[in-house]
Amino acid sequence: MIAIPARNRICLGLFWASLLAAAGFEPSHWKFHVPVRVPESGRLCVIPFDRALYSRMRLDLGDLRVIRDGEEIPYVIETMAGSVEEHECGLGILNKSVIPHTGVQLTLDLDKCKDLKQHSRIAFATAETNFRQRVRIETSDDNRFWLVSREDGYIFDFTQGDRKLSVLTVDYPVSTRRYVRATIFGWTETEAITAARSFYRVEHPAERYILDAITPERSEDPETRSSILKLDLAQSGLPHDRVRLEADRSDFHRAAELEVSEDSKAWTIVTRGTIFQVPGEQSLAITYPQRHERYLRLRIFNGDNRPVPALRVYVETLKRVFKFLPPSAGDLWLYYGNPNARPPVYDLAAILGRQAPMPETSLVIGEWKVNPDYRPPPGQEKPWSERHPAVLYTVLGLAVVGMGLVTVRFLMKVRDA
């Protein structure tokens, strides 16, 4: 038996008191349900959302209910979105010059950025277009002896008609040294770089769930010199916010844009980005605001390069879980599939936030089933003919046979006459 601290017992008492005061649950309003077994009490139960749940729930996930003995068990939904910490130092450039047969070189002095104890990114400003330049980053304590922090950074710009995409930042390992020096290879004019800023950036990556791994339908567009990868999720309503390419080992650095559609005819552009794969580094994913359309179209601009050999495309969404605290071990049910359900408002998130972290246990849900008690809302019930197709087809078949006999008899009488 698990001992629960007194503070937690008080919170749990308030929690269950509010639960018992809630109204009873009416299962006939929910179309689907799935069984869940809780092996032990006193632990926060965690269940991840998967494609089976997404495909039968509302887009806002507000029709989920956790039910035990006819009563709701409060839950909280958590999204594993990650986080980014970024601080900027917007100083001017200390010096700038052209290194013969190499490129443009500039130096930043971070001594006046007292709040920026560390730095790990440099951002450039330029009026140049349609380029891809290698960048080397070095750091120093005294502006005399330099250590290479990164040798293979790149800045990039793609401009074609109304399409414009620029990536003008280079990340490097976190440093506390006072000076940062950047060399942009291939440029021969100091005016090519108009400004530069230093940042300290720490990213805690998001956790993701793969909705589908698709071998794309591929075509080439000679007018825009681009490859088009068409993806079909087989149904609408699934949340997605990132596509990730799987390619062979070729090196490339390309601009790309993503479109979505419900009918595979009318397309909407949702984002533009870059994908690249170079020795020691790759970025093959494009992230965008969450969408729910069935079809996606990834356009990769090749220019005069050979097309990127895409083997597979993964369509992903942020990982989401819901957590609940059952009163005891045993069986319960998840209900979902109610378009008219009001999103629930529970105290659980506030209660959990006021107590020490609880032990958690991950649960595996059973197979979803159509709720036998389900009754469609008034006006949404299917017509009698759709609910009894066998009877309808039998009657139609008999009617056709009867009309055929009448027609034959009529023709025979006409012939005799």
- Which domains, from first to last, does the chain contain? 28-80+321-370 (no CATH), 84-204 (2.60.120.260), 210-318 (2.60.120.260)
**Averaged pLDDT for residues 272-293:** 92
Give the per-residue pLDDT at 165.
86
Which structure tokens are listed for 17?
Answer: 């008191």
Q: Is the pLDDT of residue 123 over 90?
A: yes
Give the per-residue pLDDT at 370.
94
Tell which wins on pLDDT, 53 or 392.
53
Element (H, E) at 28: none
- pLDDT (tens digit per residue) in 293-310: 999 999 999 999 999 989
Q: Any bridge partners for residue 243, and if so which? A: 286, 315
295-301 and 195-204 strand pairing: unpaired
Q: Which residues of 234-262 are buried (b: 16+ CB within 10 A; e: fewer)?
A: eeeebbbbbbbbebeeeebbbbbbbbbee
> Is 405 in a helix, a strand, or coil?
helix
Q: Is the pLDDT of residue 286 over 50?
A: yes
Q: Is the pLDDT of residue 400 over 90?
A: no
**pLDDT class for 416, splitting at 50, 70, 90?**
low
Give the per-residue pLDDT at 402.
66
Give the per-residue pLDDT at 406.
67
Closest CA to 296 of 248, 246, 228: 228
Give the per-residue pLDDT at 281.
82
Give the per-residue pLDDT at 144.
93
Give the per-residue pLDDT at 203.
82
pTM (whole model) above 0.85: no
Non-local CB neighbours of 19 within 8 Å, separated by 6+ positions: 71, 72, 73, 74
Q: Is the pLDDT of residue 22 over 50?
A: no
**How far is CA 303 from each of CA 47, 120, 256, 307, rounded to the nearest angstrom?**
46, 32, 11, 9
Q: Is the pLDDT of residue 382 over 60?
A: no
274, 167 Cβ separation under 8 angstroms: yes
- The DSSP code sequence of 235-248 is SS---EEEEEEEE-
Give the per-residue pLDDT at 191.
93
Helix-strand-coil split of the chain, %, nearest 5: 15, 45, 40
**Averaged pLDDT for residues 201-211:** 91
Q: Is the pLDDT of residue 345 over 60?
A: yes
Q: Is the pLDDT of residue 173 over 90?
A: yes
Give the per-residue pLDDT at 388.
52
> Which of 88-92, 346-350, 388-392 is predicted least confidently?
388-392
**Averaged pLDDT for residues 371-387:** 69
310, 220 Cβ separation under 8 angstroms: no
**Averaged pLDDT for residues 164-178:** 91
Q: Average per-residue pLDDT in the chain?
A: 87
**Averaged pLDDT for residues 184-200:** 93
Tell which wins on pLDDT, 18 or 228.
228
Give the per-residue pLDDT at 413.
65
Non-local CB neighbours of 265 within 8 Å, separated by 6+ positions: none
**pLDDT class for 4, splitting at 50, 70, 90?**
very low
Q: Is the pLDDT of residue 366 over 80?
A: yes
**DSSP character for 264?**
S
Q: Is the pLDDT of residue 389 over 70?
A: no
Q: Is the pLDDT of residue 77 over 90?
A: yes
Of all residues in the chain, what percent carry a pLDDT higher than 70? 85
**pLDDT class for 83, splitting at 50, 70, 90?**
confident
Which structure tokens are listed for 191?
Answer: 């005016």
Non-local CB neighbours of 161 within 8 Å, separated by 6+ positions: none
Give the per-residue pLDDT at 55.
94
Which structure tokens are listed for 93?
Answer: 């450039």
Give the per-residue pLDDT at 11.
45
Give the per-residue pLDDT at 255.
93
- pLDDT (tens digit per residue) in 213-257: 999 999 999 999 999 999 999 999 999 999 999 998 889 999 999
**pLDDT class for 411, splitting at 50, 70, 90?**
low
- pLDDT (tens digit per residue) in 126-150: 999 999 999 999 999 999 999 999 9
Give the per-residue pLDDT at 396.
66
> CA end-to-end span of the chain, whole Å?
97
